[in-house]
């Protein structure tokens, strides 16, 4: 069989595997027997073993273990299992600390203490202990719900069954990582590509007896829900874990200062090869629980922790050509097509060149030999050109002045804040007027955080576009299924499945809806903020009447950049048509309001001047947690004006005139039950 044929066969099998995986796990209606399903999996794994060039992120060798299994019941986590934001460099780390200090309203010389813990690359688990007894154990799942894998976890020797220490909390979720040591993995002689996949597969065996045969280990590092844990520091908690009989990482450290974090990082990175477990970075957690609490979370990650990923793997390759990719915001991104190279187990054949300036700055030419870096999950990029290998015929790249898709002029926006031209060149067409932009917008519309339609992936968007079945997002809800049924690779059942998945998403939350529109500068976080503010879709639509738009400035996190972007969005008639059409077809749910019956319900606040020891963002968040809201001007609607240092006189006078209650910071804290 030639290479192309092997690849075709491989992707056909993966497609079939995933189709059946979906039917089995998601729909609970398998169309093939378990044995046939297992055979299909083995065939894929064998192909991968025989032909090393085969790689797919959808392969069961990679994705196995992440799908919810019907062998286990799902259970809600009592506290969500969050993920971590990543940093890759000292600069990222410095910025992370600055942000934290800003949020806490601390000066630059304030020393933050971190618990620096090697990040084991295994499978996280949450173990509930009640009255000292191991009760249930859940996998992470989607962070909200995990699978009940108690029986399998009970086979792990590192997990104590009972803990009799007096100071062990009465009810607690102990969280940590299940993993396989490298030396044990090598002895296992199994079909898994790496210890992580092996740990994941082993934890999900149907029969705990099979799990027991695998030398799984457990290291504890955090907790979820707790009752009776009276500690102040993460380092104290880690110490206690050890006393209670859990294993903790011997390389955990308490450190302050970025310089110390960096030298610890480099030291451990050097040791990495000698360790008997895989680590992919260092987790930094703010050591003080009180500060952790103040910092809280952003969507699905805590503000109080960050993962410092180990520096990338890199390799030498050659630039074959430079292509232009067009994104959903019209951004033209140059991408280098490179001679495929294997970097850390992944075959890389594309590397982003970011923008025009980057190509000029690094003097990258077609034909050049280059150093390529692949850091974590980030798209590979070019670090440098080997000038000694430069030849005369290596061609300079001419950046297109017209959009390669629709021929419109390309432009660079002028940033009125930085007073500089944007580095990114964009297609100047009005979004849906450009074919490539439209396709990308629709891909965004169906993406995971947006409509997330099962079985409707990017490839399908491209196919349906090609067949003129879709042009605008609303077309997804008016598809002509009779045409799809006759397409290659489709049949009655798969069309039924697709129709079902689409129908499921006719009901959608307002935040997802806003996010799915793909408005520049309105990511998930901003979509959430806006949805909470406008409450329902018709209020959102009425933002298109410009005078309402500026009200959004009341939202902390929304600034001029977002307002300008929304204004441009609403000025475009096609966008309005898309929203209005979707409004007819869909049921967009009202935004869920954060706790309505708190002590500050229906009370409005405004802050003038600087508060001490607390940022505005945190104050606002505290008020909102108690159901109060913040407004940005003094009017009859305002209940309390809070004055800090150097308040605006005019605001105080206006408040006095309207007989609005004026509070000092201390008085506010009293209301919030918080000491300053
Ligand atoms: S703390 C909210 N501590 O990293 C805090 N996680 O991307 C999240 N991990 O799913 C967990 N070592 O599987 C924490 N010392 C450590 C860790 C660690 C490894 C994993 C864990 C988690 C992932 C976060």
Distances (CA, A) of 500 to 27, 98, 458: 11, 47, 18
Q: Where residue 141 falls among pLDDT bands split at 50, 70, 90?
A: confident
| Domain boundaries 74-309, corresponding CATH code | 3.30.470.30
Closest atom of ligand 1 relative to the 123 alpha carbon: 13
Residue 573 pLDDT greater than 70, yes or no: yes
Q: Judge whether 329 and 303 are in contact, CB under 8 Å.
A: no
Closest atom of ligand 1 relative to the 84 alpha carbon: 7
3-state secondary structure 246-294: CCCCCCCEEEECHHHHHHHHHHHHHHHHHCCCCEEEEEEEECEHHHHHH
Q: Judge whether 113 and 254 are in contact, CB under 8 Å.
A: yes
pLDDT at 340: 85
Distances (CA, A) of 181 to 48, 157, 253, 309: 24, 14, 21, 20
Burial code of 141-154, b = ≥16 C-beta within 10 A, e = fewer? beeebbbbbbbbbe
The DSSP code for 554 is G
CATH class of 459-589: mainly alpha
Q: Where residue 376 falls among pLDDT bands split at 50, 70, 90?
A: low
Instruction: Tell me if 124 CB under 6 Å of ligand 1.
Output: yes
Residue 237 pLDDT greater than 90, yes or no: yes
What average pLDDT does range 452-469 have in this prediction?
94
Q: Does domain 314-429 have CATH number 3.40.50.450?
A: no
How does pLDDT run across 194-224, given as a tens digit for each residue? 788 788 888 888 888 888 888 999 999 999 9
| Domain edges within the chain | 3-50, 74-309, 314-429, 459-589, 604-671
Distance (Å) from CA 14 to ligand 1 centroid: 30
Helices 573-585 and 560-571: crossing angle, nearest 10°?
80
Burial code of 356-370, b = ≥16 C-beta within 10 A, e = fewer? beebeebebbbebbb
Average pLDDT value for the chain: 89
The DSSP code for 386 is -
* Of the ranges 265-274, 317-326, 368-377, 406-415, the best mean pLDDT one: 317-326
Q: Where residue 66 falls among pLDDT bands split at 50, 70, 90?
A: very low
Distances (CA, A) of 540 to 570, 583, 666: 11, 11, 37
pLDDT at 212: 86
| Domain boundaries 3-50, corresponding CATH code | 1.10.287
Distance (Å) from CA 21 to ligand 1 centroid: 28
Of 77, 92, 122, 82, the closest CA to residue 249 belongs to 122
Instruction: Tell me if 283 CB under 6 Å of ligand 1.
Output: yes
User: 651 an active-site residue?
Assistant: no
CATH class of 604-671: alpha beta
Instruction: Tell me if 176 CB under 6 Å of ligand 1.
Output: no
Tokens, residue 304? 């109080």
Distance (Å) from CA 220 to ligand 1 centroid: 10
Residue nearest to atom 17 of ligand 1 (CA): 119
Residue 632 pLDDT greater than 90, yes or no: no
How does pLDDT run across 151-187, given as a tens digit for each residue? 999 999 999 999 999 999 999 999 999 999 988 888 8
Q: Where residue 64 falls among pLDDT bands split at 50, 70, 90?
A: very low
Residue 660 β-bridge partners: none
Q: Where residue 33 falls among pLDDT bands split at 50, 70, 90?
A: low
Tokens, residue 398? 């001419």
Instruction: Tell me if 120 CB under 6 Å of ligand 1.
Output: yes
């Amino acid at each position: 069989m030639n290479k192309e044929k092997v690849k075709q066969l491989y992707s056909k099998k993966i497609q079939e595997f995933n189709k059946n995986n979906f039917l089995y796990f998601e729909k609970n209606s398998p169309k093939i027997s378990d044995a046939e399903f297992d055979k299909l999996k083995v065939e894929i794994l064998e192909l991968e073993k025989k032909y090393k060039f085969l790689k797919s992120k959808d392969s069961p060798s990679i994705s196995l273990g992440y799908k919810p299994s019907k062998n286990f019941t799902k259970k809600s986590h009592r506290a969500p299992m969050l993920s971590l934001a990543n940093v890759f460099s000292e600069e990222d780390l410095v910025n992370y600390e600055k942000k934290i200090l800003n949020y806490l309203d601390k000066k630059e010389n304030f020393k933050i203490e971190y618990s620096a813990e090697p990040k084991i690359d295994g499978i996280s688990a949450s173990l509930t202990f009640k009255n000292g007894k191991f009760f249930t154990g859940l996998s992470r799942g989607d962070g909200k719900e995990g699978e009940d894998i108690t029986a399998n976890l009970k086979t792990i020797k590192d997990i104590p069954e009972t803990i009799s220490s007096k100071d062990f909390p009465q009810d607690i979720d102990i969280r940590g990582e299940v993993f396989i040591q490298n030396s044990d993995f090598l002895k296992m002689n199994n079909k898994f590509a790496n210890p992580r996949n092996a740990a994941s597969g082993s934890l999900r065996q149907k029969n705990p007896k099979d799990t027991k045969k695998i030398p799984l280990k457990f290291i504890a590092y955090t907790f979820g829900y707790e009752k009776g844990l009276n500690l102040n520091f993460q380092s104290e908690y880690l110490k206690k874990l050890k006393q209670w009989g859990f294993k903790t990482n011997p390389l955990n450290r308490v450190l302050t200062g970025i310089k110390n974090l960096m030298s610890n990082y480099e030291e451990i990175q050097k040791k990495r090869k000698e360790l008997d477990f895989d680590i992919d970075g260092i987790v930094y957690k703010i050591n003080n629980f009180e500060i952790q609490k103040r910092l809280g979370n952003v969507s699905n990650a805590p503000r109080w922790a960050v993962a410092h990923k180990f520096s990338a793997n890199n390799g030498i390759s050659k630039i074959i050509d430079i292509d232009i990719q067009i994104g959903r915001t019209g951004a033209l991104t140059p991408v280098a097509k490179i001679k495929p190279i294997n970097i850390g187990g992944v075959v890389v054949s594309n590397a982003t060149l970011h923008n025009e300036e980057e190509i000029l700055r690094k003097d990258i030419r077609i034909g050049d030999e280059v150093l390529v870096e692949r850091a974590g999950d980030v798209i590979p990029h070019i670090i440098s050109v080997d000038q000694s290998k430069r030849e005369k015929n290596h061609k300079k790249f001419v950046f297109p002045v017209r959009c390669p898709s629709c021929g419109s002029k390309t432009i660079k926006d002028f940033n009125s804040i930085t007073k500089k031209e944007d580095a990114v060149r964009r297609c100047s067409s009005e979004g849906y007027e450009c074919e490539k932009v439209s396709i990308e917008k629709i891909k965004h519309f169906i993406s995971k955080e947006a409509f997330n339609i099962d079985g409707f992936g990017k490839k399908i968007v491209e196919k349906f576009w090609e067949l003129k079945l879709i042009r605008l997002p609303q077309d997804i809800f008016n598809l002509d299924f009779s045409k799809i049924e006759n397409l290659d690779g489709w049949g009655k059942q798969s069309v039924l499945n697709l129709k079902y998945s689409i129908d499921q998403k006719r009901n959608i939350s307002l935040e997802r809806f806003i996010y799915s529109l793909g408005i520049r500068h309105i990511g998930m976080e901003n979509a959430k903020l806006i949805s909470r503010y406008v409450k329902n879709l018709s209020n959102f639509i009425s933002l298109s009447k410009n005078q309402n738009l500026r009200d959004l400035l009341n939202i902390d996190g929304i600034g001029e950049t977002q307002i300008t972007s929304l204004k441009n969005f609403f000025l475009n008639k096609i966008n309005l048509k898309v929203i209005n059409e979707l409004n007819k077809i869909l049921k967009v749910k009202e935004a869920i309001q954060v706790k309505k019956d708190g002590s500050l319900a229906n009370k409005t606040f405004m802050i003038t001047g600087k508060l001490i020891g607390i940022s505005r963002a945190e104050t606002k968040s505290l008020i909102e947690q108690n159901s109060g809201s913040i407004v940005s001007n003094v009017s009859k609607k305002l209940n309390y004006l809070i004055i800090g240092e150097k308040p605006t006189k005019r605001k105080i006078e206006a408040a006095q005139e309207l007989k609005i209650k004026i509070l000092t910071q201390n008085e506010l804290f009293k209301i919030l039950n918080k000491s300053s």
